[in-house]
Amino acid sequence: DSLGSGSVEQIVVEQSGTYWIAVSRVVQGSSGSDAAARYSLLVGVPVGSSARDAIAANRLTTAQNFALDRVLVKPVSERMRRSTVNVLGYRQVPIAVEGVSGQLARRRALRAIKTLRARRDVSAAMPELRFFPQGLPVPDDPDFARQWHHLDIDLLAGWAQSELTDAPLGSGAVVAVVDTGVALQHPDFVNADGTSQLTSDGYDMVSAEEAAGDGDGRDADPDDPGDLALAGGGTFHGTHCAGNIAAATNNRIGIAGVAPRTKIMPVRVLGRGGGTLDDVVQGVLYAAGLPNDTGQLPARRADILNLSFAGAGSSPPLAEAIAAARDAGVIVIAAAGNFDSPVEQYTPASEPGVVTVSAIDATGQLAWYSNYATTEGAIRLTAVGGDSRVDRTLDGEPDGIYSLLYRDGARTLYGQTEGTSMAAAQVSGVAALMKAVWPAMGPEEFDALLPRMVIDWGGPEDAWKYGAGLLNAPRAVAAAVSLATGKESLGPVLHVSSRALDFRDRFTSLPLTIRNVGLGDLSIRAVTASQPWLSIAPGKEGENWVRIDRSALPAETNHAQLAVDSDAGGAEVAVRAVTSSALPEVDLGPLTVALVDATTGEVVEYTLSSADDGYAFSFDVIEQGAYRVVFSTDALSSGLVGASGDWVGALPVGGGAYCLGEPPEGIACVAVPSDLTGDLDAPVPAPLTGLTLPLSLP
């Protein structure tokens, strides 16, 4: 629309189609209400330069992003000038738009401006436009592109929000990583100006010399010597978490932390063989600046505790320490745990007052290892934990979380790890961004902000997996800014439901949701496909369907991109489609294969199979009856079908059973396919042999 106050209006239509043009008169002032209105309507006629100038000078359109409850006015009269005006002579004038919203409210606001422009005591009236950063701050760290998980929480838009404040990127906040300690010598804890991302008052709380592995017990050196028995070997779990939170950024090496101006206080409580309850409790108390058995305190307590570890059951002493930390104003964030089990069975994730974080993978689903809730509120929110077994991001690498590691000798400074630990660290980093802009934020305030820090993920029925929703950096930072300053800084934020779509050899269409997770209006300028066999409809905000033309695929393996362009930045979605002939031979390691009685569900016989023999299997069926073949990977070498983390399949595909002898009542018997052999009508025993299992990978 074009709703200006001049004598010339213009609408430019950018897409072909059939349109209605509506023209209406807005009466300015009280006179002329019965006067006729005359206009000339020109379609497809170029506009001259003088008309363009007039349009620009008087332009008003609801396509602009502006405040709905106030306008900017430059008064003429001295009486009006005596009111509050800025140095340029403008003042804010409230307007009434109660009872309406959306487009109607925007049109009402513009009509108020037109009326004000007609007044003799007003020299200018205009919308209170809202401005937003257009260039998102991409750091110069060379491995930032490997941190795909940052995109899932819209971190760059979160940084843009943070940069609008006096404490950008977590400045002044301190996060205690209560873990295995950190590799103090890691170069990516050093900023470009030579300063360190680590505080100088971390502590080693591992009391047993053998478990500590550094030659002594508790001391003021939180360096991680490795938590494995082999000298120099270790998971460097604390280093990985600390890097995810606050690795040095724009230092031209490695990666970028979520809150790159936040300081990390390393507190070592886990050594070889894990950690003891007393060591963990003392570490929590120390990090919170509370009295502890060492008699030592940090120069400044931490604002946030990151607890990315788990123990079975509950722990009253640890619960007391966490409660004391909260009473001191410390936010306590904990990983839900990686046991694919109820989170209520583990500590510290189940302790009162803890912000417990589950993990999703690159597809946005609850990660295969993540704990979940069986009681309301046990999971508070979810973040990205990854899955190192697969490549769903289509970047040629497993989908683990890439962060800092450290190993002697080979100098493996960086690497991937998966887990709710990584998700918790992501939340701790965003909490640091929030704490920096709102120093008064404590655990109660953080709890109250949780609904504003996330985007809906699933529905209310999925709260047992995702809590309030998926962490979103710009929403979280903007919520803190609004409470710190009383002003709303968040504009529209572009979010796509997936950064990669894999059509494999079977799909022809997949969904893609384009969302505005910020405030204000999001304008999708274009969604373009890089290949002619790829298309998207309708290509707008909301649910879309991405389709491929399989008949037009030029190669066995095909790659393409979808580019989403909006007034709030852009996003790219990687696409892959393969033909059946391009599917690789799958080696999932040994498979556990079970023959299951279809009537009772009991396992009759187990066997193992592997890729070396084409995943063939054989059973000696010993009784007449109905049978199913159930098979699974064996990620944990448990020898069981369907253990935690395993992929599971079954024959016959789609249900039913292979029947030996007379079909049992209520069982649908299925013909034996060509890749299975077995004389099911012969007297028992009869063999059932499979030459190729129809594996269907998720």
Catalytic (active-site) positions: 179, 237, 421
Measured between alpha carbons, how far is 657 from 667 in angstroms, rounded to an integer?
7
Measured between alpha carbons, how far is 264 from 429 in angstroms, rounded to an integer?
10
Maximal C-alpha separation, the chain: 109
Pairing assessment for the beta strands 66-75 and 603-609 based on DSSP bridges: unpaired
- Which SS3 state, helix, strand or coil, does residue 109 take? helix
With residue 679 as reference, give the H or E element that holds it: none
Burial 381-414 (b: 16+ CB within 10 A, else e): bbbbbbbbbbbbbbeeebbbbbbbbbeeeeeebb
Distance of CA 257 to the CA centre of its chain: 15
Token pair belonging to 325: 């930390």
Is 119 in contact with 30 (CB distance < 8 Å)?
A: no
**From residue 339, how far is each of 310, 319, 644, 645 by CA, in Å?**
10, 21, 8, 9
Measured between alpha carbons, how far is 399 from 418 in angstroms, rounded to an integer?
8
Measured between alpha carbons, how far is 157 from 133 in angstroms, rounded to an integer?
9
DSSP string, 290-357: ---TT----SS--SEEEE---EES--HHHHHHHHHHHHTT-EEEEE--SSSSBGGGEETTTSTT-EEE
Cβ contacts of 585 within 8 Å, gap of 6 or more: 611
With residue 446 as reference, give the H or E element that holds it: helix 443-453
Token pair belonging to 418: 């998966």
Cβ contacts of 211 within 8 Å, gap of 6 or more: 271, 272, 273, 275, 276
Select from 330, 326, 315, 322 the least CA-distant residue to 277: 315
Q: Residue type for 123, please?
A: S
Measured between alpha carbons, how far is 615 from 689 in angstroms, rounded to an integer?
11
Measured between alpha carbons, how far is 378 from 281 in angstroms, rounded to an integer?
21
- Which SS3 state, helix, strand or coil, does residue 573 take? strand
Is 472 in contact with 455 (CB distance < 8 Å)?
A: yes
Measured between alpha carbons, how far is 311 from 55 in angstroms, rounded to an integer?
68
Cβ contacts of 472 within 8 Å, gap of 6 or more: 153, 154, 158, 453, 454, 455, 493, 495, 517
Is 648 in contact with 634 (CB distance < 8 Å)?
A: no
Burial 301-321 (b: 16+ CB within 10 A, else e): bbbbbbbbbbbeeebeebbeb
Is 129 in contact with 64 (CB distance < 8 Å)?
A: yes
